[in-house]
Structure 1
Amino acid sequence: MAPTLPVMTIATRTSPLAMAQARMVQAGLARAHGPLDADAAFPILGLVTTGDQITDRALLEAGGKGLFTRELDRAQLDGEAAFAVHSMKDVPTHLPDGLELACVLEREDPSDILLMASGPARLEDLPHGALVGTASLRRQAQALHARPDIEITLLRGNVGTRLQRLADGPIVATFLAKAGLKRLGRPEANGQGLDFAHFLPAPAQGAVGITIRKGDEAARRALEPLNHQETALAIAAERGVLEALDGSCRTPLAAHGTLTGGTLDLTAEVLQPDGKQRWRLQSAQSGITTLIEARQFGLELGRSLRADGGAALEAVLSGTGS
């Protein structure tokens, strides 16, 4: 190992997808600074988070998305790990004091896939009154907005667990992120992603981020070759929307940005949990080159959406809307 690069431990959740993403980061670091023994240079510390242990109720009842990051944050702050690898859609908009987001990998396809026991499906393939399982309030609201005839029930767990529940019935279908299926090498990932017209992704869906302790310059330098600036700018804007709308697991909220030819195109939406009303806004801005500018663009779009929605949208954001 190069003398300037100490052993740096990578903290991650122990779910199959989280471990696959940690291995991606480990391999990328080894390639960038190698040749190295990846396991020796960047050992992986697997942790079971509070969110992983909750399988019988929705996250909004238990405390929100920070439940998937708390134990990883503590491992970093206690000096047990230099890096923590996160699915960025699970990361709160404000990190704990002492930590910062230092790297974002190139984003995978952020779309959702609808799965039935027979495989990938379209929304119109669902029979009338179908029972659909999901733990995502966003997916619930979007599904009901497009198909008010269906019924929603809570379904949590990893990919294998959810697919087994489909096979066992009576749940007819569920939603999964295409990015996760691809990273797991699942054949279902070859299915068609759902149209963004009905299923705009969660902010930062499909993106993997790596946090470090503030002031750890060796860790920051080690991650520089892995950072994908276009993805980082896009998700900074999406998380700006989330911040402006005080979004959490209690809010059916979606946002997606793309950077093309120097122009950042951003769409955001909020829905009533029952899907009966949806507020959506789109904007584009050129010349955004920094994370601060991207976040500000997202904040402005989120505030505009909030203003356009008026009292009805405020009721949803406060948790008093239907």
Structure 2
Amino acid sequence: MQTDVVRIGTRGSALALAQAAETRARLMAAHDLPEEAFEIVVISTTGDRIQDRALAQAGGKGLFTKEIEEALIDGRIDLAVHSSKDMPTVLPEGLELSAFLEREDVNDVFIGRTGGGLTDLPQEARLGTSSLRRQALALRIRPDLKVSVFRGNVQTRLRKLEENVVDGTMLALAGLKRLKLEHVGTEVLDISDFPPALGQGAICIETRVNDKRIWELVQAIHHAETGVALACERAFLAALDGSCRTPMAGYAQVDGDRIHFSGMILTPDGKEVHEITGEGSLIEACEIGTQAGTRIRERAGSRFFESWS
């Protein structure tokens, strides 16, 4: 039996801690280990500390992973638990995504200060979000809305809503479920109108390459179907050189031995939209994502990216 304490690195928000605790619980059950066999190590990230501007203006996705990955490389932690949608497509040398937990709901939830849904907001209502994707999708439906940057963890955003800073906001249903807060949502947004972020709802585990002990440990809780879907979505993201500066959405679904993917890119104002689909066998997951990204980039043309970047 493994006796060394396994150190799990995570951000310090309530949601990140809930995800780390879920990972620990699954590892305990899979290996019949006590809680004392694991230590959750909280690491402050640049993304957590920046609260006054959108992440797109500060450097993008890696802001939520850089310090955690440095701790993993240095050996201060043995594995890192992340929200998959926060992960850059290129990882630091020596690190890999070695496992994914079974995916939660991928939907976004609208939370209206006085109830109701997104389309029920009054004319020129104030919408708070830190996501360019959510901003673009909301403006596509309601171009009259006044969007403002809404940073902070889930509890901070809910408090700002109560304080009448904005009239509505949007959060991931998966996160609310993990925090036992799904009841605060006033409308679950349909993915046909409001497709999710690539990787949304999936927890991933990052480890050091060639760390056989930890790799074998986490394989026991790896959900293969989620892993295939995320491989497809991350390939699409990589083909588009995706970052927080690019409003994009996408969702891969596994159906037996087939995978179906739909992707979308938008301008931040939601006025120009390009959509793509692809499907094939599971072994083609990465290729399907890559081809979808390449085709949608060609379809949109360089002007699409140059006009607002």
CA RMSD of aligned residues (A): 1.4
Deviation at 1:263, TM superposition (A): 1.4
CA deviation digits over 1:44-91, x for unaligned, max 9?
101111100000000011111101001110111111111100000001
Taking a change above 3 Å as real, the CA distance of residues 311 and 74 of structure 1, as seen in their structure-2 partners, is closer
In the alignment, structure 1 residue 101 sits paired with structure 2 residue 97: yes
CA deviation digits over 1:184-220, x for unaligned, max 9?
0114367542112221111000000001111100101
AA aligned to 1:46 is V
Q: 4+ residue runs of structure 1 moved beyond 6 angstroms? A: none
Deviation at 1:271, TM superposition (A): 0.4
AA aligned to 2:13 is S
- Secondary structure, in 3 states, of the residue corresponding to 1:243? helix
AA aligned to 2:15 is L
AA aligned to 1:176 is L
Partners of 2:195 and 2:186 in 1: CA distance: 17
Partners of 2:250 and 2:306 in 1: CA distance: 19
Partners of 1:202 and 1:186 in 2: CA distance: 20
What TM-score comes out, normalization by structure 1 length?
A: 0.93
In the alignment, structure 1 residue 246 sits paired with structure 2 residue 241: yes
Q: Give 1:31's aligned residue.
A: 29
In the alignment, structure 1 residue 149 sits paired with structure 2 residue 140: no
- Secondary structure, in 3 states, of the residue corresponding to 1:284? strand
- Secondary structure, in 3 states, of the residue corresponding to 1:246? coil
- Secondary structure, in 3 states, of the residue corresponding to 2:139? helix
Partners of 2:18 and 2:108 in 1: CA distance: 19
Tell whether the 8 Å contact from 1:26 to 1:42 is kept in structure 2 after alignment. Answer: yes
CA deviation digits over 1:221-279, x for unaligned, max 9?
10111100111111111111110111100000111110012111101111011111111
Partners of 2:255 and 2:233 in 1: CA distance: 15
Q: Give 1:87's aligned residue.
A: 83
- Secondary structure, in 3 states, of the residue corresponding to 1:108? coil
Tell whether the 8 Å contact from 2:89 to 2:237 is kept in structure 1 after alignment. Answer: yes
285, 288, 296: which one aligns with 2:282: 288
204, 210, 229: which one aligns with 2:205: 210
Q: Which runs of 5+ in 1 are unaligned?
A: none
AA aligned to 1:31 is A
2, 16, 19: which one aligns with 2:17: 19
Partners of 2:225 and 2:19 in 1: CA distance: 19
Figure out how many residues of one structure are paired with residues of the other and give that number.
309
- Secondary structure, in 3 states, of the residue corresponding to 2:201? coil
CA deviation digits over 1:266-294, x for unaligned, max 9?
01111011111111111221x213xxx32
Partners of 2:52 and 2:300 in 1: CA distance: 33
Partners of 2:4 and 2:207 in 1: CA distance: 14
Taking a change above 3 Å as real, the CA distance of residues 129 and 10 of structure 1, as seen in their structure-2 partners, is same
Q: Give 1:112's aligned residue.
A: 108
Q: Give 2:6's aligned residue.
A: 8
Identical aligned pairs, as a percentage? 44
What TM-score comes out, normalization by structure 2 length?
A: 0.96
Partners of 1:20 and 1:171 in 2: CA distance: 27
